[in-house]
């Protein structure tokens, strides 16, 4: 991330701060649903804010993840493999964001 160090640094801290309440909510609210049956989990998602917060958790989490994974790649991987891994890193982050928006939409409006 040449010439973008400061904005990346600030964005990493900003997403970290936002993730403090989001992760606490996730720990309290989501883990018990992961192995629940479909009816129970959909009833959970239909409650106000749950589907929305799940999408926000995925979006902010993916943004924070992309920066952190990029740091690890930059430290250990060089050459063409670095380009491939960075592309996969971006792809994974965008997939998590898009999937979060899609899921929130389906669970809120189309379910």
Note whether 90 binds another protein by CB under 8 A: no
Residue pair 40/95 in contact by the 8 Å Cβ criterion: no
Considering only residues 40-79, where is the footprint of another protein by CB under 8 A?
A: 41-42, 45, 54, 57-58, 61-62, 65, 68-69, 72
Note whether 11 binds another protein by CB under 8 A: no
Note whether 95 binds another protein by CB under 8 A: yes
Listed in sequence order, the DSSP H helices in 30-105 are 38-46, 50-76, 80-105
Burial 54-88 (b: 16+ CB within 10 A, else e): bbbbbbbbbbbbbbebbeebeeeeeeeeeeebbee
Out of 43, 88, 94, 106, the residue judged to bind another protein by CB under 8 A: 106
| Helix (H) or strand (E) segment spanning residue 26 | helix 5-29
Residue 2 beta carbon to another protein: minimum distance, rounded to whole angstroms:
19
Residues in touch with another protein (CB under 8 A): 13, 16-17, 19-20, 23-24, 26-28, 30-32, 34-38, 41-42, 45, 54, 57-58, 61-62, 65, 68-69, 72, 92, 95-96, 99-100, 102-103, 106-107, 111
């Amino acid at each position: 991330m040449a010439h973008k160090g400061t904005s990346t640094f600030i964005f990493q801290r900003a997403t970290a701060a936002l993730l403090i309440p989001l992760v606490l909510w996730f720990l309290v609210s989501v883990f018990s649903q992961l192995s629940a049956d479909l009816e129970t989990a959909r009833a959970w998602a239909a409650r106000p804010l749950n589907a929305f917060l799940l999408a926000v958790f995925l979006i902010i989490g993916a943004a924070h993840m992309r920066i952190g994974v990029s740091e690890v790649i930059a430290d250990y991987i060089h050459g063409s493999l670095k380009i491939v891994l960075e592309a996969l890193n971006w792809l994974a982050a965008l997939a998590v964001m898009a999937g979060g928006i899609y899921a929130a939409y389906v669970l809120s409006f189309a379910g």
